[in-house]
Amino acid sequence: MSCDAKNTIDPTELKREILSKYPAKVARKRSKQIVINQVDDEGNVPEIGANVRTVPGLITQRGCSYAGCKGVIMGPTRDIVNITHGPIGCGFYSWLTRRNQTKPPTDADDNFITYCFSTDMQDKDIVFGGEKKLKAAVQEAYDIFKPKAISIFSTCPVGLIGDDVHAVAREMKEKLGINVFGFSCEGYRGVSQSAGHHIANNGIFSHVVGRDDTIMDAEFKINLLGEYNIGGDGFEIDRILGRCGISVVSTFSGNSTYDQFANSHTADLNTVMCHRSINYVADMMEEKYGIPWIKINFIGAAATAKALRKIAAYFEDEALIARVEAVIQEEMPAVETKCLDVKKRCDGKTAMLFVGGSRAHHYQELFREIGIRTISAGYEFAHRDDYEGRKVIPEIKLDADSRNIEELTIEQDPDKYAARKTDEQIQSLEAAGNQFKDYKGMMPEMEKETLIIDDPSQFETETLLEMYKPDIYCAGIKEKYAIQKSGIPMKQLHSYDSGGPYAGFKGAVNFYEEIDRMINANIWAYLEAPWQAAPELSAKYAWE
């Protein structure tokens, strides 16, 4: 029934309708970030505005730079003591709020993820400076936990008053004899958490990667970059890779440890899962150590099979290629049985995905497998390359906000660089259809006329829901209940609600079941959306 409505909506009209509610200047800005998708034969798509400041007053889904650094990148590492230098709220709200899991091999191994370390900055520290307090906190953490490493995260006031966290880190490193490093990841450092990813990754690359040259005794060694083990995704990926005989030296940063980062330059291939948060690390590792990188995706059963085949093709080993095929053959029947069953009830339904900087793309694969079309999607904080593909990177203009984030100058390491493949080998692999250093982005894979919205506001979300009435909407906790009140099931794709894993083969089965349960539950029919209860209810903006 609602299908007709979806097909008759003119996205151009809808965009005009949304923009008409904004003041002219805001409308101009938003019009660049709301794009009607078109894909030509070469896979070219329209330009989208992305990675720009949110207009003050619009209710955004975004987080801050500190969140991206401390929570996203460093959050899943279990044996580094992460101290938040700042008011207690910043530490508290980034304490176990992301469902990244970790599994120390034994109870004796360090696991600090369950702790919240903070300097608990007070007014007097803002006035007189907080460096002394920070030093005392580092000392105290060391005395109690004796960790391998301690890292320090700057919150907004730290930058405003000018505490030098790096000087404190240097001094304490010298004094304690362990690795201590700081991050200038004040919340305001960038336009979103994306800046924090970059700051964290630069820090790990400068302070940790390359410090342990032990070569793992394994035949096929890879790093998994941009996989954060949300809901146990990383465990499922490790299970599958393990079955294939592929060894993971380091995951950045799901279920990771300090030693794995330190050792990661010994891997022979970097595989990039979340392009947004980590693509620059892959580039830096290639330049400094000679490790090529490929984009892979373990979200979706077909995507998982494809990722495994890509890795096997890179190593050019017949036994590995055969083993990967055997694993796919063994794993797929259970997935296909579930998929066929669920598809009976989900085929033809529609979804909208507004998540982070990567999942709004990856999850379209899983939905497609059970016959669900994505009719509108967008990211909170992705850059143009995540939408349009890496080919637009040279065109992206650096603005003042991007310049704020340090770009490391990387050179070949005189001792540790070893090209894993010669140029000729890479070329012949490319000729055989393998792609290196490439990501085509989300938009080329989306249908024409779908609405792509960057950094959507709450008002835009509500308008989309009202007009399109999708069968399911995916975003985060801030959006969840407002959306469900309008009678539309809402799946959290950040935390997975309480579910997961959704990666790999077993994850696909979990996801199909979950979406089937949510979409086909009777409960939604009993809910009345505000516009159904009071269709004439309207309001005017002050400037109208």
Catalytic residues: 64, 67, 98, 197
Local structure of 391: helix, strand or coil: helix
Please give the residue whose beta carbon sits closest to ligand CFM in the complex.
356
CB of residue 478 to ligand CFM, shortest distance in Å: 11
* Site for ligand CFM contains 193 (CB under 6 A): yes
Q: Please identify which residue in 300, 357, 441, 500 interacts with ligand CFM, judged by CB under 6 A.
A: 357
How far, in Å, CA of 94 to CA of 89, rounded?
8
> Are 131 and 164 in contact, with CB atoms under 8 Å apart?
yes
Shortest Å distance, C-beta 504 to ligand CFM:
15
Rounded least distance, CB 101 to ligand CFM, Å = 12
Q: Which stretch binds ligand CFM (CB under 6 A): 130-138, 180-188, 226-234, 512-520?
A: 226-234
CA angle 10, 14, 15 (to 5 degrees): 120
Taking the least distance from each CB to ligand CFM, the nearer of 384 and 494 is 494
Dihedral over Cα of 232, 237, 242, 243: its sign: positive
List all residues 6 or more positions away from 531 whose beta carbon is below 8 Å from its beta carbon.
466, 486, 537
- Is residue 260 within 8 A of residue 232, CB to CB? The reply is no
Question: Which position among 208, 230, 299, 508 is part of the footprint of ligand CFM (CB under 6 A)?
Answer: 230
> Among 133, 359, 383, 469, which residue sits at the site for ligand CFM (rule: CB under 6 A)?
359
Single residue of 228, 261, 293, 354 touching ligand CFM by CB under 6 A: 228
Q: Which is nearer to ligand CFM, 323 or 383 (CB)?
A: 383
- Closest by CA position to 263, among listed 247, 276, 242, 243: 247
Q: Which tokens belong to 327?
A: 């694993």
Q: Which is nearer to ligand CFM, 61 or 266 (CB)?
A: 61
Q: What is the DSSP letter of 72?
A: I
Residue 276 vs 373, nearer CB to ligand CFM: 276
* 74 vs 134, beta carbon nearer ligand CFM: 74
Q: Which of 78, 133, 198, 276 binds ligand CFM (CB under 6 A)?
A: 276
Greatest alpha-carbon pair distance for the chain in Å reads 72
Which lies closer to ligand CFM via its Cβ, residue 37 or residue 193? Answer: 193
Q: What residues numbered 469-528 form the site for ligand CFM, per CB under 6 A?
A: 494
Q: 225: part of which helix (H) or strand (E)?
A: strand 220-227
Q: Least distance (Å) from ligand CFM to the CB of residue 379?
A: 7
Is residue 277 close enough to count as binding ligand CFM by CB under 6 A? yes
Count residues near ligand CFM (CB under 6 A).
16
Please say which residue, 151 or 179, places its beta carbon nearer to ligand CFM.
151
- Give the separation between CA 273 and CA 241, rounded to whole angstroms: 14
With binding defined as CB under 6 A, does residue 378 bind ligand CFM?
Answer: no
Query: Least distance from C-beta 238 to ligand CFM, angstroms?
Result: 16
Q: Rounded distance, CA 476 to CA 478, Å?
A: 6
Q: Name the one range near ligand CFM by CB under 6 A: 224-232, 255-263, 387-395, 505-513.
A: 224-232
Nearer to ligand CFM, 78 or 276 (CB): 276
Quickly list DSSP for 295-343.
E---BSHHHHHHHHHHHHHHHT-HHHHHHHHHHHHHHHHHHHHHHHHHH
Query: Applying CB under 6 A, which of residues 72, 149, 200, 467 lies at the interface with ligand CFM?
Result: 72
Q: Tokens 């955004």 identify what position?
A: 60
Least CB distance to ligand CFM at residue 492 (A): 9
Structural contact between residues 354 and 474, judged by C-beta atoms closer than 8 angstroms: yes
- Please state the closest distance from residue 257 (CB atom) to ligand CFM, in A: 18
At residue 390, φ and ψ (nearest 5 deg) are -65, -15
Could you tell me which stretch among 147-155, 336-344, 355-363, 462-470 binds ligand CFM (CB under 6 A)?
355-363
**Residue 352 to residue 362: CA distance in whole angstroms:** 13
Backbone angles phi, psi at 113, to 5 degrees: -60, -30
SS3 per-residue string spanning 344-382: HHHCCCEEEEECCCCHHHHHHHHHHHCCCEEEEEECCCC
- Helix H, strand E, coil C: the string for 404-466 is CCCCCCCCCCCCCCCCCCCHHHHHHHHHCCCCCCCCCCCHHHCCCCCEEECCCCHHHHHHHHH
> What's the min distance (Å) between Cβ of 329 and ligand CFM?
29
- Binding footprint of ligand CFM on the chain (CB under 6 A): 68, 72, 98, 193, 226, 228, 230, 274, 276-277, 355-359, 494
